[in-house]
Amino acid sequence: MGSITRSFANNITTSGVLLPASLNNNSIANVTAYNAAIATGNMVLISSQTASNSASISFTTGIDSTYKEYQFWFINIYARTDNANFTFNLSTDSGSNYNVTKTSTFFFAYHTESDSDTGLIYETAQDLAQSTGEEIIVPSLGSDSDQNASGTLQLFNPASTTYVKHYIARVNDMSAADYMNDCYKAGYGNTTSAINAIRFKMSSGNMDGTILMYGIK
């Protein structure tokens, strides 16, 4: 047995556990810092909210300069009214008003349950051009008992007072017409004021589902 192998073996217990002496700050650059990074991770769950036949879900705290990116995860978003759009809007006054001017683009791939129709479309009716209205993430959600939408929205550097506020959403849903839609939305809030609140709602009727808000280190 070579000296390196023998030294390594001497630092393993009979149950196969490495002893502290087998590691030092020259292995994996800095072991203490490496372990801390694993323990904390890069995604921090700030808050979560669950709607149950609710008009909207709003996050009015926790969006600040702590993180350069915030992610919102949608879990089983359900429209109580058939053919409703799942939307969001942004606020610069902690939720007193949701009326940030936005410009965006939208396209989606689709496939019917019956396998009768597929495609990839840019949908002009779902984009905005310097509008303060609601931003559509998912159009025409179905209200059958099993129909819903799940996905994510990324909001970049909302606390900036220099730049506009970019966002990217990707959501998969089951539409009112029994289409599976893979939706892509991207745009920006055209304001140099800090964004500090966001609201999610249906274009008509109430909603169910859970939304998680994460900060990205």
Residue 101 near residue 169 (C-beta atoms within 8 A): no
CA distance 120 to 23: 53
Q: How does pLDDT run across 112-135, given as a tens digit for each residue? A: 999 999 999 999 999 999 999 999
3-state secondary structure of 135: strand
212: which 2 tokens? 């998680």
Q: Which secondary-structure segment (H or E) carries 76? A: strand 69-79
**Residue-level pLDDT at 92:** 98
- Bridge partners of 122? 107
What pLDDT sits at residue 152?
Answer: 98
Domains of the chain: 3-37 (no CATH), 43-216 (2.60.120)
Q: Which pLDDT score is estimated for 17? A: 56
Closest CA to 215 of 64, 102, 92: 64
User: What pLDDT, on a 0 to 100 scale, did the predictor assign at position 33?
Assistant: 44
Q: Write down the pLDDT at residue 3.
A: 59
Tell me phi and psi for residue 26, to 5 degrees.
Answer: -95, -10
Instruction: Note the pLDDT of residue 73.
Output: 98
Instruction: List helix spans (H) across the chain.
Output: 3-9, 31-40
Residue 31 has what pLDDT? 46
Residues (pLDDT < 50) of the chain are 27-40
Residues 6+ apart with CB under 8 A from 172: 149, 150, 151, 180, 181, 182, 183
pLDDT value for 37: 37
Please tell me the predicted confidence (pLDDT) of residue 99: 98
CA dihedral 206, 211, 138, 179 (to 10 degrees): -90
Q: How confident is the model over 28-68, as pLDDT tens digits? A: 444 444 443 333 469 999 999 999 999 999 999 999 999 99
Q: Over the range 41-71, which residues count as b (16 or more CB within 10 Å of their CB) and which as e?
A: eeeeebeeeebeebebbbbeeebeeebeebb
The tokens for 160 are: 């900036």
What pLDDT is recorded for position 88? 98
3-state SS assignment for residue 142: coil
Nearest Cα residue to 185 out of 159, 152, 213: 152
CA 171, CA 195: separation in Å to the nearest integer?
Answer: 22
